[in-house]
Amino acid sequence: MTRDLGNGHSENDLRPEFRKFAEPMRWFGTTEDRVPDYVAAIRKRYGAEADEILIEGGPHVMIFPNLFIAEIQVFNIQPVAVGECVQYSTAVQLAGAPELNKRMVSQCMGSVGPAGMLLADDTEMYERNQLGLEAVTPEWLDVRRGLNRERIDENGFTIGGATDETGMRGFWSHYKMLMEAQS
């Protein structure tokens, strides 16, 4: 599900999906036996809470305005011109987890960066979106998807489905508030 965390921040909360499977390290696309040192260290340190950590994995969160953490990788987006951004990306590295760190570097390198098997396609979409915006007609960019089914969670945050535009609405409404002149 997507969650508007307020102040422009949002997350794609993947935990409900991983909880359904309840398999440690599934979030990382692997199994316990492939990263035994990491799993043992987490169990030793967190005891009864370890399973929750190993099942739920890392956050997938957009921190307003330009820091994005996607489980195993970190992005920093720097606007350099009206029609141009530079996106920096690198692997998350955990203190004292060399076994997992090595895999995160390898997986991150395959996925992100200018030639990444995920990110190159994402940036292609960013560029096509930009072309759409530059066309000006139609005048509005529609980000209403899922507006009809938003709910408030137990902590008071607005939540929507996994592909709903709840996070984008949160981002742009905060941006608008910051950019408008004080009346």
Partner 1 sequence: MTRALNNATAPGPVPDGFDRWEVEQFLYREARHADESDYDAWEALWTDDALYWVPAASTNDPSREMSVIYDNRSRIATRLKQIRTGKRYAQSPPSNLRRLLSNIEFLGGRANSSGGVDLEVSANFMVLESRARGSHLWGGRATYRVRRQDGELRLAYKKVVLVDNDRPIPTLGFLI
# residues contacting partner 1 (CB under 8 A):
21
Q: Which of 109, 143 has the CB closer to partner 1?
A: 109
Closer Cβ to partner 1, 86 or 133, answer by number:
86
- Torsion sign (Cα): 157, 161, 167, 170: negative
Which of 86, 141, 162, 177 is close enough to bind partner 1 by CB under 8 A? 86
152 interacts with partner 1 by CB under 8 A: no
Segment interacting with partner 1 (CB under 8 A) among 29-37, 52-60, 101-109, 174-182: 101-109
**Closer CB to partner 1, 3 or 103, in the complex:** 103
Least Cβ distance, residue 141 to partner 1 (angstroms): 20
Q: Say if residues 135 and 142 touch (Cβ distance below 8 Å).
A: no
Does the footprint of partner 1 cover residue 30 (CB under 8 A)? Answer: no
- Out of 19, 20, 45, 102, the residue judged to bind partner 1 by CB under 8 A: 102
With tokens 């890392």, the residue in question is 58
| CB distance 33 to 23 below 8 Å | no
Please tell me the distance from the alpha carbon of residue 122 to that of residue 119, in angstroms, as a whole number.
5
Residues at the site binding partner 1, with contacts judged by CB under 8 A? 86, 88-91, 102, 105-106, 108-110, 113-115, 117, 120-121, 123-125, 127
